[in-house]
Amino acid sequence: MALSGVAWALPAQAANDFGTRPYVRLGLGRALFLSPSGSPGLHLTSPSSQPLADLTVGFDLSKYWGIEFSVDYMKTDLDAASPRHTLGDFSSIAGTAAIRLRYPLGDGRFVPYAFLGGGNGFGDFSGRKNFTYPIGGRGWSLLGVAGAGAEF
């Protein structure tokens, strides 16, 4: 799960009725891990030790429906659970596609939305800080995304 703390979008009215509206969003935040101890004896620092960066390109296809494509990069520390010490860096990059349901309220300036989608992610252990612990690796994984927000 990732939370973006800062976002920017191209200026446009949130609820236009004249067709496709493209947008770009840049995000910067922290990653929160639902299961930071996914492997016995290992623990990811949560929230992430370094900022999560996000680039999203989307298109509002109608007043209610849209689609967006996103690329996220995150880097944090991988720690040994006992004794507690940092083993190295864990980074991941993810590409996702999602559908977005929007519902303009009032005069269309406040637009709550929800999105659902999926994609692929790549994780990599690097920047080893402790050479006495025999771990390492990288790999791909399918992932799902879901969320909600509001435009104003």
- Indicate if the pLDDT at residue 51 is higher than 70: yes
Per-residue b/e over 66-80, b at no fewer than 16 CB within 10 Å? Answer: bebebebebbbbbbb
26: left (phi > 0), else alpha (psi -120 to 50), else beta? beta
Task: Give the pLDDT band of residue 131 (cuts 50, 70, 90).
Answer: low
Give the start-end residues of each E strand in 32-137.
Answer: 42-44, 52-60, 65-80, 85-102, 111-126
Query: What percentage of the chain reaches a pLDDT higher than 70?
Result: 78
pLDDT at 13 over 60: no
- Dist. CA 113–CA 64, nearest whole Å: 9
79-129 per-position pLDDT tens digit: 777 677 788 888 889 999 999 999 999 888 899 999 999 999 998 887 776
* The predicted structure's pLDDT at residue 124: 85
DSSP state letters, 76-88: EEEEETTTTEEEE
Q: What is the pLDDT of residue 8?
A: 45
In the predicted structure, residue 45 carries a pLDDT above the cut 90 = no
Percent of all residues in the chain with a pLDDT value above 90, rounded to a whole number? 37
Residue 6: pLDDT above 50? Answer: no
Pairwise CA distance, residues 100 & 114, whole Å: 6
Assign 42 a pLDDT band (cuts: 50, 70, 90).
confident
